Amino acid sequence: MTDGYLTTRDKLRIYFRTAGTGTSLVVIPNGIYLSDDFQRLTAGRTLVFYDVRNRGRSDAVDDPHKLEAGIQQDVEDLDEVRRHFGADRVAVMGHSYMGVMVVLYAKAYKKHVSHVVQIGSMAPDSRKQYGPDLSNVDETFRTTLASLRELEADRPSLSPVEFCEKFWSVLRPIYVTDPANAHRITWSRCDLPNERNFMGVWTKYVLPSIERLNLTPADLADVTAPVLVVHGTKDRSAAYGGGVDWASYLPNARLLKVEGGCHGPWIESPDLVFNSIETFLSGRWPDAATQPSL
């Protein structure tokens, strides 16, 4: 793997990591924490994982005027990454809230997108509540929230790094179905100030920008690229119902249902997830992907 920086038109440095040497480019925003697991997809491809602004090793922004665009600014930065690598068309892949962003990118930059992969994405309409058959608000989720509230009371006595590490030690179990796999959630990066400080940017700028979207089938009708929606049925962080809606709303999408999978569904079902993504990026729908109806 090779690490480096690129500079945006507004003079911000974006940190990236590449894996593979193939001619087909797959861009994975906010994906540095995925780089080890996703090595399986490098055959014939170059994967570009990068930190979005205010995350990881990319530059932070403190000018409110440059923050208020929220998720839409991330869309523009993704195109900066594409242009830096000199690719006319790229596949894009987004996990969690980045699953929303890559679809917005495919909507805004149609001619530059060949394929879209969403993994455990937030729902098209973040306000929508899903029933128990399409969500997973279980005892693990409730216990975790209670423990996080207790931890918040201890924040004044902890250093920022200590608080971050304790926060993630509490949070990890909600991202996996089997608690024995919690150690595989290595997403914290508590040594980096951007990661320790991102919650303020998230709550004030990024999340509100996503909540304003309220995407409908009509909003998504012009997303022409094929979209593979990968979603675990036991996802506690982003309800499985959101994946069903994405695959229903988008005109050229199919849903890869990962039975028993959680927010990192490749952890529970690596062969299903990676083989399906491999097939999709190679130009075919995986056999396990289906088209749900509204």
Rounded to whole angstroms, the Cα distance separating 95 from 125 reads 16
pLDDT digits (tens, 9 = 90+) for 151-179: 999 999 999 999 999 999 999 999 999 99
CA angle 258, 139, 198 (to 5 degrees): 75
Domain that holds residue 82: 2-290
Phi, psi dihedrals of residue 227, rounded to the nearest 5°: -125, 125
Model confidence at 145: pLDDT above 70: yes
The amino acid present at 272, given as its one-letter code, is L
Whether residue 106 contacts residue 222, with contact meaning beta carbons closer than 8 Å, is answered with no
Report in angstroms the alpha-carbon separations of 192 from 15, 133, 156.
13, 38, 19
pLDDT digits (tens, 9 = 90+) for 246-268: 999 999 999 999 999 999 999 99
Rounded to whole angstroms, the Cα distance separating 31 from 132 reads 30
Give the chain's mean pLDDT: 96
| pLDDT of amino acid 294 | 55
What are the beta bridge partners of residue 230? 119, 256
State how far Cα 281 lies from the chain centre. 17
pLDDT digits (tens, 9 = 90+) for 73-106: 999 999 999 999 999 999 999 999 999 999 999 9
Return the SS3 of 293. Answer: coil
What's the CATH code of the domain at 39? 3.40.50.1820
pLDDT digits (tens, 9 = 90+) for 23-63: 999 999 999 999 999 999 999 999 999 999 999 999 999 88
Question: In the chain, how many domains are there?
Answer: 1
Whether residue 79 contacts residue 102, with contact meaning beta carbons closer than 8 Å, is answered with no
| pLDDT of amino acid 293 | 66
| pLDDT of amino acid 283 | 96
